[in-house]
Chain A
Amino acid sequence: MNPQTLKSNLELLEYLKKMTKILRENDYAELAKEVERASLFASGSSSEFLHETQIALEDVIAAKPKPIDPKEVQSVIHQIAEAFHRVGGA
């Protein structure tokens, strides 16, 4: 799981799915559920998808689950913020 630079919302979706799996396998069921929930927004609106992902990833950072590198998650959050910045705001 190395997002470094995500190329698209599709890659972000794949990233969330992988994170969900890892969290679930490591007994972070609630956190996994939250990340999975964010991924479900992918079929509605890209803004909502990115917003919900931001919220879920911020919660992941706050929970500090062992198998997840917080810097990596922070990098993804930053990329989402950049995506919004390009269209003029949140």
Chain B
Amino acid sequence: MQEIEQEVTAQATAIASVHKALAREAGDFAKAKEAEAKANGDAEGEKLWKEGGAAHVLLHTGLGLLTGNVAGAVGAAAASLAAPVLSEVQDGVTNILKDAGASDVVAKETGKIVASATAAAGGAIVSGSPGAAAALNTEMFNRQLHPDETKWIKDNAKRFAQQLGISEQEAEQRLAQQAARQVQNGMPGQEDAQSRAFLSQAKGMLAADPSCPSCGPGYMFYATPEQKANPNMYANTLSQTETFYRENNISQPTPQQITQSVAHDQTLRNTVMQRTILAAMLSGTLVLAPAASGIATEAAAFAKNPVGYCISNPAGCTVAAETVAYTAAGVPQVGSGVLTPHGIARQANSPVARVALDEAQSGTTLYRQGSFGVQNTTDAQFWSFQNPASTKGFANQMGMPGDTAKPDWIMGGQIFPGSPIITRPAPGIGANVGGSMEAVVPEGGVRHLWFHMPN
């Protein structure tokens, strides 16, 4: 099994590395065909192969399939291609892959896939190739950018460019690449905090993907861990976004990058889950709410005896734990706690704290401020309901003595739906001033993060 995985990874890497070469070859191939048709006085052929022509589009559609854009590429255009043309496409792709180091089998089968897909997109009937499909590990492909997201970037790139004093082209590229990083596992490149902050201005949900009912709704420039690892979500829109990807130099991540990213995400989620469970176990409040009557039997068994359940059923433990911890009906809210470095933070019972809890659970923005190299950011547990940038005397209101210190950054976000959270007054020694509400969440419990660096 391991050898197969290594083989698949090696082949996929080879394929990814030649994607650019393939695109270039495809362009050259189309140009040659266009010139050939022109020389032969074949007006119809010339029309087919010119930029934007059906054959030209279909060839790139086939390449889209090769790079994993499986579901979305089919149906991008409607035209039939003659068998000799498909054969040339197949041979060309096969040779390029061979030159790049792919094995004969994979190169040949992939060539078939591209030709088949190209034909399928045009309505031709060509048999598929399960062997190559297996070689092209579909898990290497992730949630794609939705056309609404690419449109938002194009519509707002000028404003971002003006803010930063950069060209509109650079602004669009930075926004596009950061957006891709936010929805795809393993996208190369460094986090771009300025772009993230700007993208956070885009609010709202995206239309659900009808070809992927299990994906759930999408959010502007945000994907859940499951969506980030989903190969199908919005793949059916790739024909609309392919140009945007190409213009902004967005390449698909390598399998290694994806694997590392998924592992990192999983570790983070495991940490959140373990801490949540531990907190509940320590506080003795891991109980199901009355509304949880419909919860799975396993989850109920887990909740009743977490340790015993996990010892006797290690495989089911993870699922049950997540269900208990994150299913709204099953999450203990008031009276439960969130584990902090020094014990369990508990929900305050004052009306103000209850209102704050409702607000946080409804998705109100939570804020933090801090200095580079000091305070935590993405895994922070303590959050404010007030925006430090617009709240006069923010530090004093939150019970902090450092009002004169200017923060390096301000960040915000919303809690994950169903995540444990408690609200309480910010603590202080003696008769400390302040005491505004703070929210305490497990590490990594806040999503839709944005960052701002005050001038």
Contacts and interface: CB of A to CB of B under 8 A. Distances in A.
Given A48-B382, A90-B342, A90-B345, A6 B405 contact: no
A46 B425 CA distance: 10
A7 B429 contact: yes
Given A45-B400, A51-B342, A90-B340, A79 B424 contact: no
A7 B384 CA distance: 23
Interface stretch (A20-28, A62-70, A80-88): A80-88
Given A43-B407, A48-B375, A49-B400, A88 B348 contact: yes
Interface in B351-384: 368-371, 374-376, 381-384
A78 to B, nearest CB: 11
Contacts of A48: 375-376, 382
A23 to B, nearest CB: 19
Interface string B326-350: 0000000000010011111111110
B400 A88 contact: no
B430 A41 contact: no
B427 A84 contact: yes
Nearest to A79: B429
B402 interface: yes
A8 B400 contact: no
Interface centre among A7, A45, A87 (most CB of B within 10 A): A45
A61 interface: no
Contact of A7 (B371, B376, B430): B430
B434 interface: yes
Most chain B CB within a 10 A radius of its CB, from A9, A50, A54: A9
B401 A10 contact: yes
Contacts of B348: 87-88
Contacts of B374: 37, 40-41, 43-44
A47 B395 CA distance: 12
Nearest to A39: B402
A9 B428 contact: yes
Given A44-B368, A88-B347, A8 B401 contact: yes
Contacts of B368: 44-45
A60 to B, nearest CB: 16
Given A40-B371, A88-B346, A88-B347, A46 B337 contact: no
A6 B431 CA distance: 9
Contacts of A51: 340-342
A44 B434 CA distance: 14
B432 A9 contact: yes
Nearest to A86: B427
Nearest to A55: B341
Nearest to A83: B427
A35 B271 CA distance: 28
B438 interface: yes
B435 to A, nearest CB: 8
Chain B contact surface mostly: loop
Given A89-B345, A90-B343, A90-B345, A47 B427 contact: yes
B340 A13 contact: no
Contacts of B183: none
A32 to B, nearest CB: 16
Interface in B264-299: none
B432 A8 contact: yes
A21 B434 CA distance: 28
A51 B384 CA distance: 16
B430 A6 contact: yes
A43 B343 contact: no
A7 B431 contact: yes
Contact of B344 (A41, A45, A89): A89
Given A9-B400, A47-B440, A51-B340, A42 B405 contact: yes
A88 B424 contact: yes
Interface in B400-455: 400-402, 405, 407, 422, 424-434, 438, 440
A87 B434 CA distance: 13
A43 B342 contact: no
B371 to A, nearest CB: 6
A47 B376 CA distance: 13
Contacts of B431: 7-8
B399 interface: yes
A11 B401 CA distance: 8
30 contacts: A6-B429, A6-B430, A8-B428, A9-B432, A43-B369, A43-B371, A43-B374, A43-B395, A43-B407, A44-B368, A44-B400, A44-B407, A45-B368, A45-B384, A45-B400, A46-B428, A46-B434, A46-B438, A47-B340, A47-B345, A47-B381, A47-B427, A47-B440, A51-B342, A55-B342, A83-B432, A89-B337, A89-B343, A89-B424, A90-B343
